[in-house]
Amino acid sequence: MPEIKFYKQQQIPMEMHKVRIVQKLNLLPVDERLARMKEAGFNTFQLRNRDIFLDGLTDSGVNAMSDRMEAAMLQADDAYAGSESFFRMEKKLQEIFGINYVLPAHQGRACENILAERFVKPGNCVIMNYHFTTAKAHITRVGGHVEELVSDAGLVAKSDLPFKGDIDLKKLEDCIIKETPENVAFLRMEAGTNLIGGQPVSYGNFKAATDIAKKYGILTVLDASLLQDNLYFLKTRDESMKDKTIREITRMVADCFDLVYFSARKFGFARGGAILVRDEDMFHSMEDFIPMFEGFLTYGGMSVREIEAMTVGFEESMDFDVISQGPQFVKYCVDALDAYGIPVITPAGGLGAHLYASDFCSHIPQEQYPAGALVCALYICGGIRGMERGTLSEERNPDGSERMANVEMVRIAFPRRVFTLSQTEYIIDRVKWLYDHRDLIGGLRFVHEPATLRFFTGKLEPIGDWPDKLAAAYKADFGEDQ
């Protein structure tokens, strides 16, 4: 469907759905938000949902399901083995991706665990356009290492490059030669690269990168968790794709890869995941990991009700009107912030609006986690929960030193079909206020630092009393009950 145009006002995103079930929100006064942040150890993952006004932590597992998805859950087949719910899901995935063999898993990181266990040996290299936290953690856990080869232009915060997730093809081939093909476990391409702002990959880059890998006999793997956003951008930014359907583009991308995996918490709008395997022998070499780690082969640790919902969600992800909602709202937010002069990642990608914390909080040294501090300040000054995507989300080097992130960002996720335009305007307004008072934000330091995935469960404290000063300035402008 073409974009809906307006007669006498600015162009705004139009929701292609109506709301039939609502959930009440709660906006705590600023002093209470400050207290909740202190209790949470200045880690937004540790906040309780009842204390949050607008939750932009993630789009994983928190997207709104459609009426058809909800209805499908009523036909779930609860059989432990041989569930018809699984076979309906399998058939739909075969239809969409053209890959015959399906291994169910309870979410994306479960798929990553199985891939690491099956393919990665100590000393092996896994090449990626860019890493995702859990994918990298599973690889390093079994003794492998990751080489990230996204193009240099992909790491430039402010840009008009349409496909910033592209891998550098020369670096890819050079890396294969340096590591030797035998030592490269697989090439992993992530559609809609999460940690550089949800930036898409071009079809030409998918094809060229996998052709290089196949020339050297290297397994090719697609992380399709954010594929629906990437499909939207291929359709709208690539002239050669404008006349193709989303279903056709999906098959073209999938045909490049030997193996596809995804979190259905993103792709499919439900809570689950799967690994799609093209080769029968490879499928059989992996299938014993499912009952070992996940559950039987026809439920894989998922509720069969979720399997039924995500099967409908896969079909809805082939609908341009459905997948356009997230990117359009993100773009509206990013464009408004950019016009105000706020440092944001451009062009707008999928997932959410990404504040460029390196410039937003340029006075905070990187070792004091500027993105972590900014995301805490955003909650104090609006009840908005975002996610730190920077150095705090990295793991330390083996010698204990910090591994500095290439990009320091705060992600304000836009779960699909959840936020309204007025709520988006509220987010924009509070970020503007925070930017005008950015000098009040200070750094953070760890008081409890887990060795792995520290951003989930770590506890921090502010360096100085900046959160109290920030809250006081906010009260002076908005009052105590805001």
Q: Which residues are catalytic?
A: 80, 132-133, 223, 266, 389, 455
User: Would you say 127 and 188 are in contact if contact means Cβ atoms under 8 Å apart?
Assistant: yes
Q: Which residue, among 189, 192, 190, has the nearest Cα to 200 in the 3D structure?
A: 192
Angstrom distance (rounded) from CA 118 to CA 227? 24
SS3 at position 279: coil
Contacts of 86 (CB under 8 A, 6+ apart): 104, 297, 298, 299, 304, 307
**Beta strand residue intervals within 234-360, DSSP E:** 259-263, 273-277, 352-356
Q: Which residue has the tokens 């359907």?
A: 245
Burial of 44 (0-12, 13-18, 19+ CB in 10 A): buried
Angstrom distance (rounded) from CA 189 to CA 452? 23
Q: Which residue, among 235, 147, 234, 224, has the nearest Cα to 193 in the 3D structure?
A: 224
Angstrom distance (rounded) from CA 224 to CA 213? 18
User: Would you say 125 and 184 are in contact if contact means Cβ atoms under 8 Å apart?
Assistant: yes
Angle 244-59-384 from CA coordinates, rounded to 5°: 135
User: Would you say 223 and 135 are in contact if contact means Cβ atoms under 8 Å apart?
Assistant: yes
Rounded to the nearest 10 degrees, the angle between the axes of helix 108-119 and helix 133-141 is 30
**Beta strand residue intervals within 4-163, DSSP E:** 54-55, 101-105, 125-128, 145-148
User: Would you say 22 and 47 are in contact if contact means Cβ atoms under 8 Å apart?
Assistant: no
SS3 at position 273: strand
Which amino acid, one-letter code, is at 341? G
The HSE-up count of residue 43 (CA atoms within 13 Å, CB side) is: 20
